[in-house]
Amino acid sequence: MKFVLLVLFVATACAHRRHPNRTALEHIIVNGYNAYEGKAPYAVGLRMNNGAVGGGSIIGNTWVLTAAHCLTTDSVTIHYGSNRAWNGQIQHTVGKDNFFRHPGFGNSAGHDIGLIRTPHVGFTNLINKISLPKFSQQGERFENWWCVACGWGGMASGNLANWLQCMDVQIISNNECARSYGSVASTDMCTRATDGKSVCGGDSGGALVTHDNPIQVGVIVFASGGCKSGPSGYTRVTDHLDWIREKSGIAYY
Nearest to 71 by CA among 28, 116, 111: 116
Q: CA-based angle 22:25:26, to the nearest 5?
A: 150
Nearest to 193 by CA among 235, 226, 152, 156: 226
100-112 in b/e form (b: 16+ CB < 10 A) is bbbebbeeebbbb
Give the catalytic positions in this structure: 69, 112, 204
Q: What dihedral angle (degrees, nearest 10) is formed by the CA atoms of 149, 227, 162, 96?
A: 70
Q: Identify the helix (H) or strand (E) that includes residue 122.
A: none
Q: CA-based angle 221:222:226, to the nearest 5?
A: 145
3 state SS of 219: strand
Beta-bridged to residue 209, according to DSSP, are 148, 216
Strands 63-66 and 114-117: antiparallel
In this structure, the number of other CB atoms found within 10 A of the CB of residue 34 comes to 12
Q: Identify the helix (H) or strand (E) that includes residue 86.
A: none
Distance CA 171, CA 244 (A): 22
